[in-house]
A and B are shown apart, each in its own frame.
Chain A
Amino acid sequence: MPGRRFNIVPTHKDNKPLRYLLQALNYSLFMGIVWYFASAPAVRLIDEDEAKLTIAFAHAGQLREPCRMLSQEELNKLAPNMRKLDDCPRERSPVLIEAELDGEPFYKAELPPPGLFGDGGVDVFYSAKIPAGEHRLSLKMNDSVRIEGFNHQFEQLVSIEHAQILLIVFNSKQGFVIKQELN
């Protein structure tokens, strides 16, 4: 066999017992790194005296312009199958929202209606840590450019525990609602 006479120098000399020992050491180191960073260092998400206040809801602002009833003359100009009685412009009002906690500003935003024609509903989401305990919470919202000031208002004394998430939602029937679910 030509290969048997051939001089190939191995890069490293073979020393099996030492090599197996070193391999065990390397594998241990590798697994040590895997094990440690798989769960450490821990991340602390909230301090002892903190809680979280979250405002989260979807809401469509009112139409910028009111619907208008078409006159008979205008209806006559339309094809018979397209004679819709009212004309409602699609564009909606921006939603202006202001929240105060214990009289201090907590959140303020003016959210324009999304969409190519500005006719979409807005998604409101704001979440921030607050001190646990009792707070006076007030919320104001305007969802129509045709109304001066705020047309939705809410004020309440709330109590919030350490690590609790106090969730404020809004629906057009009930207005602002606190969802305070605790296990």
Chain B
Amino acid sequence: MIINPLKRVYLALESWFNFSFGTEWNPLYHLGTLSFFLFWIILVSGIYLFIPFHGSLEGAHASVEWITHEQWYAAGVMRSLHRYASDAVVVTVLLHLFKEFASGRYRGFRWFSWVTGIPNLWMIVTLGITGYWLVWDEMAQYIAVGSAQLMDALPIFSGAMTRNFVSGGMTDRFFILIEFLHLLGQPMLLMFMLWLHVKRLSNVNINPPRGLAAGTFIALLALSLIAPAMSHAPADLSRVPIEIRIDWFYLNVYPLLEILPPRQIWMLTTGVTLLLMMVPWLLPKKDGPKAVVDLDNCNGCGICFEDCPFDAITMQARTDGARYEHEVTVDADLCGACGICAGSCPASNPFRTPRGHLNTGIDMPQLRANDMREMTREAIDSMSGDLKILVFGCEHGIDVDRMNGDDTRGIKLICSGMLPPTLVEYALKQGADGVMVTGCRQNDCYYRFGNRWTRLRFAGERKPGLRARAEHDRILVHGGAEPDAPQIRQDLDAFRQRLRELNQSAPVDAGETV
């Protein structure tokens, strides 16, 4: 399988973090929630800092110095946490952007989340800029003059802004504006944009695992104590600051003013932003056919509604006069065509119509529940080895076709979450000695919840679960990306060996048909 170089980099990074943190705490799987957690730190520390902060030309710098030096053990630590958590957010957000791009999770039905995510970069950066502005030190002066130059390049300002930042041009009213922006206007707008960003997702989680949150907080606290955030000298509009130790996470655009005119900087930054926003259409990928509801086989149980990762399914009152209270509908624009709903539908149980066509309540036109059952039968019949092992795998994990051999057949699904656990039972009843299910790396499903729901279903902890009487010893649930293929093959060999031992102790009647 060909993997693009960016994805290869991402997978290597992911492997390293899985090795270091385990799959539950891998920060790459929690970049969104980690960003939210950092926002909480910023919010709490910001509220604390607002109490002693004095928003005036004379008082701003002095109050920040008091915060930093006089009450270093509380307010000073809060200031450092505020700054470093803000910087860390830029790292987590950029990693989030990189991850989604590298793994192809930005186009097709995902365009909305991508497009609404990009402006958040501007929101975060401008929020940081106004924060630095409040300190009113030499760096704030540098930002103020630079920002004014940038604003003046826009037709609506025409040179009026910069004149505010010449000697004698500043007043305390300026702080009222910046405080309003930094403490209320910008955070509110950012919150709205974040809500919009996750609007098309279901089961949105904003809290990282406790271990990861604790580790991140301890690291930030340690950094705050070792290298507390400091100010520059107070702003002096009659002098040029000689050297500024700028925060490159937020202020990287300002040094460009030394080499480019402000208008070109606007063109560059807005151009990059627009380019990023257009990426879903510049590198398009067509979604597969969307899920289809068959009301004749839908009893409105709502499991697919619960399981859909993209909020594409809604429950509504029955429209066909059937005796059930509800039915489901699919919004094709939101549907990711993952098939997780088909895997969750109790009507996908292959034992329902052993001889007839298997119609289920919600199905994927490109790979119907009946097709999966047929493929299962054919795969079992086609094997000639001493064992018959079926490997169900998803399109985004390892390539299961490469596992084909005399005793092994791979069946490719859209997502491992579209596999009804009853089909695995069916395969064992049809003569398979063992079934392996493999999806994406644990906690990193291309369709968000496919491998998580699969694991929970097979563990009997989520409907529709694998029944207790199923031969659990003959089922292996795995997961991994292409670089993990050698490890998965090794585990498959161990599974083969176990199946042989099981067959020796209690041979399976391979000819049994249900």
Contact = CB atoms under 8 A, between A and B. Distances in A.
Nearest to A162: B242
A101 interface: no
Given A8-B459, A11-B480, A26-B17, A44 B23 contact: no
A123 B458 CA distance: 71
A25 interface: yes
B142 A45 contact: yes
Interface string A146-183: 00000000000000000111010100000000011111
A56 interface: yes
Given A6-B466, A27-B216, A28-B219, A12 B18 contact: yes
A43 interface: yes
Contact of A30 (B159, B219, B243, B246): B219
A7 to B, nearest CB: 5
A31 B238 contact: no
Interface stretch (A33-41, A79-87, A135-143): A33-41
Given A19-B21, A43-B255, A179-B167, A9 B478 contact: yes
Contact of B215 (A3, A10, A27, A39): A27
Contacts of A123: 152, 158-160, 163
A40 B159 contact: no
Contacts of B160: 58, 123
Interface in B233-247: 236-247
A12 B245 contact: no
Interface residues of B, number: 72
Interface in A39-93: 39-46, 50-52, 54, 56-58
B91 A30 contact: yes
A125 B473 contact: no
B102 to A, nearest CB: 19
Contacts of B441: 11
A19 B159 CA distance: 57
A38 B458 CA distance: 47
Contacts of A35: 84, 223, 227
Given A11-B23, A123-B163, A2 B240 contact: no
B271 interface: no
B88 A30 contact: yes
A86 to B, nearest CB: 30
A130 to B, nearest CB: 11
Nearest to A180: B238
Contacts of A5: 472-473
Given A114-B158, A181-B167, A34 B223 contact: yes
B185 interface: no
Contact of A45 (B21, B241, B467, B473): B241
A124 interface: yes
Contacts of B222: 31
Nearest to B244: A43
A90 B181 CA distance: 37
A38 B83 contact: yes
A7 B473 contact: yes
Nearest to B470: A2
A38 B251 CA distance: 10
B188 to A, nearest CB: 26
Contacts of A179: 166-168
Contacts of A19: 20-22
Contacts, number: 178
Interface string B2-39: 00000000000000011111110101000000000000
A125 B242 contact: no
A34 B466 contact: no
Interface string B255-284: 100000000000000000000000000000
Contacts of A54: 166
A37 B236 CA distance: 25
B223 A181 contact: no
B166 A56 contact: yes
Contacts of B166: 54, 56, 165, 167, 169, 179
Interface string B472-487: 1101111110001000
Nearest to B222: A31
Nearest to B468: A2
Contacts of A45: 142, 240-244
B249 interface: yes
B220 interface: yes
A44 B242 contact: yes
B167 A167 contact: yes
Contact of A165 (B25, B84, B87, B237): B237
A104 interface: no
B86 to A, nearest CB: 9
19 contacts: A6-B459, A7-B473, A8-B458, A9-B479, A10-B22, A14-B22, A26-B20, A27-B218, A34-B223, A35-B84, A35-B227, A37-B249, A45-B240, A56-B163, A123-B159, A163-B242, A165-B238, A165-B239, A167-B238
**A-B pairs with the 9 shortest C-beta distances?**
A123-B159, A22-B20, A3-B459, A2-B460, A27-B219, A39-B245, A5-B472, A181-B238, A37-B248
Given A23-B21, A34-B84, A38-B248, 16 more contacts: A7-B472, A9-B476, A12-B22, A23-B215, A28-B219, A31-B220, A34-B91, A37-B249, A38-B83, A39-B247, A40-B248, A45-B242, A114-B158, A164-B240, A180-B238, A181-B167
